[in-house]
Structure 1
Amino acid sequence: MPTIVMAKQERAVEPILKKKAFAFLEKLSSDDTLPGLHIEPIVNSADPRVRTGRVDDGYRAVLFKIADKDAVTYVFHGIWPHDDAIREAERTTLRVNPISGIAEIRRVEVPAAETAAATGAAPEPSVTSPTPSPMAEVPAKDSLLTAYGLDVADLTGIGLDEDFAQRAMSVADEEAVLALAGEAPADWQGLALIDLSTGMSVEEVTERLSLGQAVDTTGSEEEQLIRGLQHPAGQLSFAWIEDNEELRRVIEDTDFAAWRIFLHPLQKQYVVRDYRGPAKVTGGAGTGKTVVALHRARRLALQAGAPRVLLTTFTRNLADALQRDMRVLDPDVEITSGLGERGLRIAGIDQVAHAVLKDAGQDVGRAAEEVLGVATVDVTRRTGPEAWSEAISAVGADVPENLRSPAFFAAEYTMVVLPRRITSAEKYFRAPRRGRGVALNRGQRAAVWAVIERYRASARAHGTLDFAEVATLAAAHLELSGRHLFDHVLVDEGQDLTPAHWQLLRALVPPGRNDLFIAEDSHQRIYGQKVTLSHFGIETRGRSRRLTLNYRTTQQNLRWAMGILDGADYRDLEDEAEEHDEYRSARSGPVPQVLPCESLSAELDQAAALVGSWLSEEEPPAPETVAILVRDRFQRDRVVAGLAERGVEVRAVDAESVKSGAPVVMTMHRAKGTEFARVLLFGVREGWIPSSMKEYNTSEADWDDAMLRERSLLYVAATRARDVLAVSWSGQQSTLLRGAES
């Protein structure tokens, strides 16, 4: 049975052709001699391995047949109308780069058939890069690469084509780099150029793309091609198909195939590497952290012995998205629903905490006594958001006025009281409060503790617990019982988790090989306070790596979004400074549109006109890939109603997943983990984002941290846009936009 290798598709394929392509390739992988396939060589083609096959009466597939001993491999290049497919097959080759050893699909300068007709013989084809766009001559002193001490020999020395390297030496700015990278002879060559243009050394690029290994020139050309297709950097462009289900996924889910199937060698390292303890991967929005977590979870779940694997994240919406993506990545992975079962469990962290307490039954009383001082077993109902306000009103008269805020008490309880299992005033008086930003003397601590006691007493009377209490109780129960429910735990969006969550995660899995794997980006922390992993027995120093290449959004959109973060002090889960100037994108597009309006009515008019223009383009995006993102639900509902009045039908999205058929309106918080072709950030005015910050006037540190979350929220919203980003406001623009517009 032939093996199928899919080359990354550069051309969009109509849905009806996708179905026909799958049927064609399914038959091919079963038996390539079937007469209906019409697998035929091309006379005088540039590559004797090239074949075409019949997809239907009007379309043919272009493939390369590699016959190595008893094995046959077909590299699927794409589908074209009949005559175009013949021309593509005549002029296209599959070859091994002699310097890097990576397989590359290339085109000859002229169609081989035309050359043969003119000369009477088939000449050796001259392989070239795609037809270059004209570029202005740039003096050597102004060249980006020259400024970093590079020359053509450095580039060709790692395998870049000489003509591509010559042109690379003339690029003077970021836009020119992206434009040239888009014309690279192979994906890996474009990414190497992008890395080098940011100041990365040749040695660093060599390591990132796994170019350091010696090229194996032994064996037949077919054997060398197979090795080139299997090269880590070669898998940026080629995916080996294991079965028909994987074939269907790669063909039918274009977006997923574009950057989730074809892993960067650096991503692949984090998927396959084994760690002697907790490990962490960081990276900006769109760099593929979640993709790494998904692939790694799949790898661990498929190990011998069927280990117990948990993939978790902060919200249920994100967990649902992870489960959908896992089913796309590999529907054969067994996804379990119970605790301690062999296989892969995907769930939100609070779901896991609730399941632990439900499983504990009456035994939870011991943990409750340790955490709350009372052996309660009421664990099913959640404390309402008004509880802190009621406790402050009842007994908070002696609390300093600037601290009489639900935000202060919720943070104090979550960051100090629960992690330390404090059950009395005496313990609270002695407790360190690092990072809380406001000092409390003994009298002030007594006043604060009185409110905390009232909060707990009220919750007991109503038979409720808050989410942080549930997670802390779950962690304490597992610690007391000595049980570990999983062999491996993977965490996505780790920056949003609370101390209680980290205590639970540490208790869920025994310390050891591949115990915890964490994906995080401190720039996307939109919930909770900063935490440091080492405070919870999770040490990742020395096992922490960073992804910097954005696959989702364009460089123009990324630059705008990064401007929002400028000047702010972000720190990661190891309490190390988190910079953002090294992030870059492999894609280019239009500059974000900035749309100031005089009034809310005018802003709604502008939004209606913009969305209408997007949907009426000659090649419009699918309606559900257009999103309007707002600060809160009140604003979301106002926008939905306002656009309906203006004849533009949109769909409000809350907990449910995005459905096809209409543009969507959702809050910026809800948009976390999503991506859209076109995004309008609506209502980015002062007073809406940042929102009213009165609750955070307790201390300068609390204020600064709340502002970090507001910046992060706008950054998250802006990086949901793949191609086009627009930003509107009425009245005074948000102060957070100053960095983005500079």
Structure 2
Amino acid sequence: MPTIVMTPNMTKIDGALKKKAWAFIEKLSTGDDTPGLHIEPIKNSVDPRVRTGRVDQQYRAVLFKVQGSGTEAYYVLHGVWNHDEAIVIAEKSRLSLNPVNGVLELVREDVEAVAAPSVPTPPAADAPLAEDGANRSLLAARGITLLDLLDLGIDRPLAERAVAAVSDDDLTAAADLATDRVIWQGIALLEIAAGGSVDDVRASLDIEREGVVTDPDSDDSMIQALDRPASRIGFSVLDDDELRRAIEDQDFDTWRVFLHPEQRRYAREHRNGAFRLSGGAGTGKTVVLVHRARMLARADPTARIVLTTYTRNLAHALKADLLRLDPGITLASSPGAPGVHVTSVDAMVLSVLRSRGDDVAEDVEAVLGEVTTEVGSRTEATAWKEAIDSAGANLQEETRTRSFFEGEYALVILPARIRTREEYWKVRRPGRGTKLDRARRSDVWTVVETYRRRARLAGSLDWDESAAVAAAGLDARSERLVDHVLVDEGQDLTPTRWQFLRALVAPGPDDLFIAEDSQQRIYGRQVVLGRYGIRIVGRSRRLTLNYRTTAENLAFAVGILSGAEFVDMEDADAVSAGYRSARRGPAPILLGAPGLREELDMAAQLVSAWLSTGAAPETVAVLVRDARVRDVVSRGLRDRGVRMREVDSGELGTGLPVVMTMHRAKGTEFLNVLLFGVSASALPSRAVLSGLSDAERDDALLRERSLLYVAATRARDQLACTWSGPQSPLVPSLS
């Protein structure tokens, strides 16, 4: 059976053509002499290995046949184009090995690689820097020379263009050109443009130095080069099972096959303890996590693995991604069974509590100082307000809010398992902002006692109490239910949930793998992992290359965060510097309207225009701040002839564009996204900020910025924002 090798172009085929392309691949997988394929060499081509094959009467596939010394050939699928265009592309495309580092490359000779006339002549390797800063080469100013780029393996015309760049736009243009020509070289230049050194690029792409290829022109050398990490950026070999699934599912994205070498390393490497992987939206943290779950399961089929996150919707998405990657993987029904258990943290907490039966009373006493087995229901959201109204007469103004008590309880009292007033007098309160002497702590504790007493009478626990009780029980019994815990969107978890996850698995090799982005924190308060028993100790890395969002949309989204100070889960500054995109696209659209009616008119026109391009309806989304606006938009667009699907929980569905809240959109992506209602009255939310102390208000403002950032990074191609009245101050202007 021939070996099929995919390139990124094959993931860009949409609509009915995708089914025809898969039919072509299915035939090709049995041999190139299968009737109907019409595999033909191309005369006067730059590479004798190139072929075209018939997908239908109008479209042809461009592919390379690499025979090697084996009995079966390798077929490298370049893409599918209209007949005449396919012939031109086939004539000008070649498969080759980079002479410096042995990376397999698919080069389009028809993509211009020389420096444009407007680009200055590159300086000599040892030339002094120009005195005039306006004409100074950016890379020369950083000590990066033409020889450095050539030694990395960058083609000379691209390297010359890069070292001649005197502005960020020039350097980014060189990276874009390289991406169009040879994908790994484009990514290398993007990393350098973002501030990375040549050694950084060599390490992240796992690029070897000279002497790696003995016979660069042989087919066998090309087949061997497919194993090089940098080659895998642009080529993915499909095994028999993957090919079968791909053909059956007719889904080019089934396996998320194109991993950056750095992503692959994080997915596969073993570590001696807890590991934290951070990165901006679209940098592939979740992809790494899913691949790592499969790697651990394949390495030890008896291993008990948990793959978890904060919300049920995100947990469902994780499970779907894992099954797309490996439909045969063993899914565990509980956190103590062999296989991968995919669920939300809160669902796991409830499972552990229920498994304890009446013995849960001991665990409740360890946390709350009371004995009860009634832990099945959740405390009402109004309980804190009622406790404050009942017992908070002596509270100072800055502590007389539900927000203060929720934070104090979740960040201080429950993690420390405070059960008495005396214990609360002594406990440390790092990061809380509001200072409390003993008398003021006593006033706070009176409200806490009232809250707890009312909850016990109702037979309920709140979510943070539930996690604290479950963690205390596991700790008391030294019971470690699982071998590996993998956490997605870790920035949204509260301290007692982290204590619960820490209690699930014994400290040791590959125990905890945490994916997080503190600039996407839209639910909980800022947490420092070391305070809750999770020691990272240097095992922390950051992804910076965005694969989802275009450079234009990414710049806009990062602008939302501009001027705000974020702190990561190791109590260090969380920065967006260095984030860059591997894709270009249209600039975001910003449209203001005098009133709601006119804004709805704009929204209807935008959505209708996107649908008229032939894009699948479910790839279009309208995102709003809250459920009330979601309902207004859905009715308003329907009245204007545009039907939408309102999404709350569950699957997104197909056949209609969707409208959902920005919170619900977490973990999703769409081709085209409209952020509706980004006005000064909606973002930041007045309801969220009302009645907060200065410290709480600052943190709430960060979450509002993060929410808009999350929403803006859901768009793959076109992003649009509309508002009526004054524009939100969180929306950046387009430069």
TM class, shorter-length:
over 0.9
Structure 1 residue 81, shift from structure 2 partner:
4.9
Structure 1, 376-385 or 61-70: larger mean CA deviation: 61-70
**CA–CA distance in structure 2, aligned partners of residues 319 and 165 of structure 1:** 44
Structure 1 residue 275, shift from structure 2 partner:
0.4
1:78 pairs with 2:79: yes
Q: Give the AA of the match of 1:95.
A: S
Q: Which residue of 2 aligns with 1:603?
A: 599
> Could you say if the C-alpha distance between residues 583 and 422 of structure 1 is closer, same or farther in structure 2, counting changes exceeding 3 Å?
same
Q: Secondary structure at the match of 1:9?
A: helix
Q: Which residue of 1 aligns with 2:334?
A: 338
**CA–CA distance in structure 2, aligned partners of residues 90 and 402 of structure 1:** 72
> Could you say if the C-alpha distance between residues 246 and 174 of structure 1 is closer, same or farther in structure 2, counting changes exceeding 3 Å?
farther
Structure 1 residue 709, shift from structure 2 partner:
0.9
1:136 pairs with 2:118: yes
- Kindly indicate whether the alpha-carbon contact (under 8 Å) linking 2:593 and 2:725 is maintained by their aligned counterparts in 1: yes
Q: Secondary structure at the match of 2:566?
A: coil
1:553 pairs with 2:549: yes
Structure 1, 457-466 or 269-278: larger mean CA deviation: 457-466
1:448-487 equivalences under 5 Å are 448-487=444-483
**CA–CA distance in structure 2, aligned partners of residues 290 and 542 of structure 1:** 21
1:46-97 deviations in Å (ceiling 9; x for gaps): 3333344454555543332223333532222233455654554444321111
**CA–CA distance in structure 2, aligned partners of residues 534 and 507 of structure 1:** 14
**CA–CA distance in structure 1, aligned partners of residues 311 and 11 of structure 2:** 36
1:241 pairs with 2:238: yes
Q: Which residue of 2 aligns with 1:126?
A: none
- Kindly indicate whether the alpha-carbon contact (under 8 Å) linking 1:405 and 1:695 is maintained by their aligned counterparts in 2: no
* Gap runs ≥5 in structure 1: 110-128
Q: Which of 484, 488, 495 is the equivalent residue of 1:488? A: 484
1:560-592 deviations in Å (ceiling 9; x for gaps): 111121221211111011111221112222222
- Kindly indicate whether the alpha-carbon contact (under 8 Å) linking 2:10 and 2:77 is maintained by their aligned counterparts in 1: no
Q: Give the AA of the match of 1:560.
A: F
> Could you say if the C-alpha distance between residues 135 and 731 of structure 1 is closer, same or farther in structure 2, counting changes exceeding 3 Å?
farther
Q: Secondary structure at the match of 2:9?
A: coil
> Could you say if the C-alpha distance between residues 87 and 600 of structure 1 is closer, same or farther in structure 2, counting changes exceeding 3 Å?
closer
Q: Give the AA of the match of 1:101.
A: G
> Could you say if the C-alpha distance between residues 59 and 584 of structure 1 is closer, same or farther in structure 2, counting changes exceeding 3 Å?
closer
Q: Secondary structure at the match of 1:647?
A: coil
**CA–CA distance in structure 1, aligned partners of residues 209 and 115 of structure 2:** 33
- Kindly indicate whether the alpha-carbon contact (under 8 Å) linking 1:287 and 1:549 is maintained by their aligned counterparts in 2: yes
Q: Which residue of 2 aligns with 1:63?
A: 63
Structure 1 residue 361, shift from structure 2 partner:
1.6
- Kindly indicate whether the alpha-carbon contact (under 8 Å) linking 2:549 and 2:716 is maintained by their aligned counterparts in 1: yes
- Kindly indicate whether the alpha-carbon contact (under 8 Å) linking 2:172 and 2:193 is maintained by their aligned counterparts in 1: no
Structure 1, 460-469 or 170-179: larger mean CA deviation: 170-179
Q: Which of 232, 251, 254 is the equivalent residue of 1:253? A: 251
1:421-432 equivalences under 5 Å are 421-432=417-428
Q: Give the AA of the match of 1:103.
A: L
Q: Secondary structure at the match of 1:601?
A: helix
1:147-226 equivalences under 5 Å are 147-184=141-178, 185-218=181-214, 221-226=218-223
1:77-156 equivalences under 5 Å are 77-81=78-82, 85-108=86-109, 129-130=111-112, 136-138=118-120, 141-156=135-150
1:153-191 deviations in Å (ceiling 9; x for gaps): 222221111122223334444444444433322111111
- Kindly indicate whether the alpha-carbon contact (under 8 Å) linking 1:6 and 1:239 is maintained by their aligned counterparts in 2: yes
Q: Which of 369, 372, 391 is the equivalent residue of 1:373? A: 369
Q: Which residue of 1 aligns with 2:8?
A: 8
TM-score (norm 1): 0.91
1:319-363 deviations in Å (ceiling 9; x for gaps): 111111112222121222223111111111111111111122222
Q: Which residue of 2 aligns with 1:653?
A: 647
1:385 pairs with 2:367: no
Q: Which residue of 1 aligns with 2:576?
A: 580
Structure 1, 269-278 or 607-616: larger mean CA deviation: 607-616
Q: Which of 331, 346, 349 is the equivalent residue of 2:345? A: 349
What's the C-alpha RMSD, in Å, of the aligned pairs? 2.4
Q: Give the AA of the match of 2:330.
A: E
- Kindly indicate whether the alpha-carbon contact (under 8 Å) linking 1:680 and 1:728 is maintained by their aligned counterparts in 2: yes
Structure 1 residue 225, shift from structure 2 partner:
0.5
Structure 1 residue 513, shift from structure 2 partner:
0.6
1:436 pairs with 2:437: no
1:232 pairs with 2:229: yes
**CA–CA distance in structure 2, aligned partners of residues 61 and 95 of structure 1:** 19
> Could you say if the C-alpha distance between residues 554 and 174 of structure 1 is closer, same or farther in structure 2, counting changes exceeding 3 Å?
farther
Q: Which residue of 1 aligns with 2:126?
A: none
Q: Which residue of 1 aligns with 2:538?
A: 542
- Kindly indicate whether the alpha-carbon contact (under 8 Å) linking 2:595 and 2:724 is maintained by their aligned counterparts in 1: yes
1:2-41 deviations in Å (ceiling 9; x for gaps): 2221122168435444334334433433455545555454
Q: Which residue of 2 aligns with 1:119?
A: none
Q: Give the AA of the match of 1:313.
A: T
Q: Which residue of 1 aligns with 2:29?
A: 29
Q: Secondary structure at the match of 1:733?
A: coil
Structure 1 residue 690, shift from structure 2 partner:
1.0
Q: Which residue of 1 aligns with 2:281?
A: 285
Structure 1 residue 424, shift from structure 2 partner:
1.4
> Could you say if the C-alpha distance between residues 364 and 206 of structure 1 is closer, same or farther in structure 2, counting changes exceeding 3 Å?
same
Q: Give the AA of the match of 1:363.
A: D
- Kindly indicate whether the alpha-carbon contact (under 8 Å) linking 1:45 and 1:91 is maintained by their aligned counterparts in 2: yes
Q: Which of 631, 636, 640 is the equivalent residue of 2:634? A: 640
Structure 1 residue 450, shift from structure 2 partner:
1.6
Q: Secondary structure at the match of 2:67?
A: strand
Structure 1 residue 255, shift from structure 2 partner:
5.4
Structure 1 residue 318, shift from structure 2 partner:
0.7
Q: Give the AA of the match of 2:643.
A: E
Structure 1 residue 422, shift from structure 2 partner:
1.2
Q: Give the AA of the match of 1:675.
A: E
> Could you say if the C-alpha distance between residues 286 and 694 of structure 1 is closer, same or farther in structure 2, counting changes exceeding 3 Å?
closer
- Kindly indicate whether the alpha-carbon contact (under 8 Å) linking 1:562 and 1:740 is maintained by their aligned counterparts in 2: no
Q: Which of 617, 621, 630 is the equivalent residue of 1:623? A: 617
Structure 1 residue 705, shift from structure 2 partner:
1.1
> Could you say if the C-alpha distance between residues 61 and 564 of structure 1 is closer, same or farther in structure 2, counting changes exceeding 3 Å?
closer
**CA–CA distance in structure 1, aligned partners of residues 245 and 299 of structure 2:** 24
> Could you say if the C-alpha distance between residues 510 and 143 of structure 1 is closer, same or farther in structure 2, counting changes exceeding 3 Å?
same
- Kindly indicate whether the alpha-carbon contact (under 8 Å) linking 1:178 and 1:587 is maintained by their aligned counterparts in 2: no
TM-score (norm 2): 0.92
> Could you say if the C-alpha distance between residues 356 and 189 of structure 1 is closer, same or farther in structure 2, counting changes exceeding 3 Å?
same
**CA–CA distance in structure 2, aligned partners of residues 731 and 52 of structure 1:** 56
Q: Which residue of 2 aligns with 1:115?
A: none
Q: Which residue of 1 aligns with 2:396?
A: 400
> Could you say if the C-alpha distance between residues 600 and 36 of structure 1 is closer, same or farther in structure 2, counting changes exceeding 3 Å?
closer
**CA–CA distance in structure 2, aligned partners of residues 509 and 686 of structure 1:** 46
- Kindly indicate whether the alpha-carbon contact (under 8 Å) linking 2:11 and 2:253 is maintained by their aligned counterparts in 1: no
**CA–CA distance in structure 2, aligned partners of residues 134 and 437 of structure 1:** 56
> Could you say if the C-alpha distance between residues 17 and 729 of structure 1 is closer, same or farther in structure 2, counting changes exceeding 3 Å?
closer
**CA–CA distance in structure 1, aligned partners of residues 246 and 171 of structure 2:** 32
1:506-561 deviations in Å (ceiling 9; x for gaps): 01111111000001111001111111111122111311001111111111211111
- Kindly indicate whether the alpha-carbon contact (under 8 Å) linking 1:175 and 1:588 is maintained by their aligned counterparts in 2: no
1:84-135 deviations in Å (ceiling 9; x for gaps): 54554444321111112111122456xxxxxxxxxxxxxxxxxxx5577956
Q: Secondary structure at the match of 2:177?
A: coil
Structure 1 residue 42, shift from structure 2 partner:
4.4
> Could you say if the C-alpha distance between residues 62 and 678 of structure 1 is closer, same or farther in structure 2, counting changes exceeding 3 Å?
closer
1:497 pairs with 2:493: yes
Q: Which residue of 2 aligns with 1:715?
A: 709
Q: Give the AA of the match of 2:279.
A: G
Q: Which residue of 2 aligns with 1:272?
A: 268
Q: Give the AA of the match of 2:194.
A: T
1:653-711 deviations in Å (ceiling 9; x for gaps): 11122122222211111111111122221222223211126766553222211111111
> Could you say if the C-alpha distance between residues 285 and 14 of structure 1 is closer, same or farther in structure 2, counting changes exceeding 3 Å?
closer
Structure 1, 161-170 or 350-359: larger mean CA deviation: 161-170
Q: Which residue of 1 aligns with 2:520?
A: 524
1:328 pairs with 2:324: yes
Q: Which residue of 1 aligns with 2:307?
A: 311
- Kindly indicate whether the alpha-carbon contact (under 8 Å) linking 1:26 and 1:244 is maintained by their aligned counterparts in 2: no
